[in-house]
Amino acid sequence: MIKLIYNPHMLLSLFLFLFIGDAKAFTCRTSDGGIIPPGGSTTPVDVRVNIGPLLNEGVNEIVNIGQISCSSEATWKDVLYTDSGAISLNPIGKNTEYGMYINGVRYMAPVPRLINVLTVSNHETKALDIRVFIKLKPSPAADIIIRKGDIIGYMNFIQNNSLSGCPQCGPYRWRLIANNDAYFATTSCTINGAKQVNVEFGLMSTDKFTQSVSNAQVKKEQSIVYQCDDTKATQDILVRLIGDTSSFSLDLIRSSNENLGVAMMYNNEVVRPGKTFRTRIVNGVGNDTVTFIPVKKNVPSENIATGPFSASATLVFSAP
């Protein structure tokens, strides 16, 4: 016969271990699998997020916090609320109005405290419905450049739950870190009405491509029009070319053909991706002409793959 002996101290220890483990069940995760620790912290936790401009109804979206999700692995209810200073964009928001959309409702900074951001229970997982934006200005304004690794700003929340005494409740302080480079317009001024412009080179023979813009045989001019809501705006402006550079020249926009890039020229000067040219508007309007030129890598013409090729870039309107 086997005699079983139960040790009450072992049972009690196991019970406490399981209970405390469950009390830490509210957990948030980033899209890349990073875990934002449960229980809260007054020390900001670094949270890496993908950023990218998205213009919509007078604002430019900086980051969609929907790439962060939070879950409750327990049966009780966990709630995440905004805290004081719910969003601060520092230093990018220094001279710009900004705010957040929370569950579809727009709030300008300073965002009120105790807005219900998220409620989860019974092992639910939900993405945070938060979009951080800057408000566009009606006249020319400097663009914002954010590099990978830059601090975008800070978010402050309070986490609560339905348990007596609210164990493991506390403040959630997140420091948002950019996971990629991005450029953000801060003005509602547009180039060509913010519509996509297609530049068609037509049919070309590969022996017409050159290695330099100076002796280009194939080129295409494109008119561009500037328009601002502020009809009194008369000033110099900057137009920035945003696009990936080709693998063989920093002067060229990358194309789908590895042996071809595209140069953009303004006033007979090449404008590199990431760089600007200076021009002017009067009474809120202006216009210019830029030239696009396909440029080949230093390879024989017969090595250039035939067929359609494409390249894409964006022009961003800003102030000096």
Range in 8-22, 51-65, 196-210, 294-308 the model is least confident about: 8-22
Residue 14 has pLDDT above 90, yes or no: no
Average confidence (pLDDT) over 77-97: 90
Is there a domain that residue 274 lies in? Answer: yes
Domain final position from 184, 219, 245: 184
Q: Are residues 249 and 155 in the same domain?
A: no
What is d(CA 189, CA 58) in angstroms, rounded to the nearest whole number?
A: 10
pLDDT of residue 290: 97
Average confidence (pLDDT) over 251-270: 96
Cβ proximity of 134 and 106 under 8 Å: no
- At 207 the three-state DSSP class reads helix
Is there a domain that residue 310 lies in? Answer: yes
Q: Are residues 170 and 205 in the same domain?
A: no
Q: Are residues 118 and 262 in the same domain?
A: no
Is there a domain that residue 119 lies in? Answer: yes
Average confidence (pLDDT) over 160-188: 89
CATH number at residue 63: 2.60.40.1090
Range in 41-45, 117-121, 130-134 the model is least confident about: 41-45
Q: Are residues 79 and 152 in the same domain?
A: yes
Average confidence (pLDDT) over 284-301: 96
Q: Are residues 149 and 252 in the same domain?
A: no
Q: Which residues contact 67 (CB under 8 A, 6 or more apart)?
A: 30, 31, 49, 50, 127
Is there a domain that residue 20 lies in? Answer: no
Exposed, middle or buried by CB within 10 Å (0-12, 13-18, 19+), for 3?
exposed
Q: Are residues 285 and 250 in the same domain?
A: yes
Is there a domain that residue 11 lies in? Answer: no
CB atoms within 10 A of CB 215: 7
Q: Are residues 68 and 141 in the same domain?
A: yes
Tokens encoding 272: 């590199």
Q: Are residues 171 and 225 in the same domain?
A: no
Domain final position from 122, 154, 184: 184
Q: Are residues 91 and 157 in the same domain?
A: yes
Q: Are residues 146 and 294 in the same domain?
A: no
pLDDT of residue 13: 39
Cβ proximity of 163 and 176 under 8 Å: no
Q: What pLDDT band is residue 141 in, cutting at 50, 70 and 90?
A: very high
Average confidence (pLDDT) over 85-90: 93
Residue 39 has pLDDT above 80, yes or no: no
Relative to beta strand 77-88, strand 116-121 is: antiparallel
Is there a domain that residue 203 lies in? Answer: yes
Is there a domain that residue 3 lies in? Answer: no
State how many domains the chain has: 2
Is there a domain that residue 276 lies in? Answer: yes
Residue 21 has pLDDT above 90, yes or no: no
Domain final position from 184, 212, 235: 184
Q: Are residues 40 and 59 in the same domain?
A: yes
Handedness of CA 104, 181, 145, 223 (dihedral sign): negative
Q: Are residues 124 and 231 in the same domain?
A: no
Residue 286 has pLDDT above 90, yes or no: yes
* Whole-number average pLDDT of the chain: 88
Among 279, 273, 272, smallest CA distance to 237 is for 279
Q: What is the pTM of this model?
A: 0.81
pLDDT of residue 72: 86
In which domain, by residue range, is 118 found?
A: 25-184
pLDDT of residue 25: 64
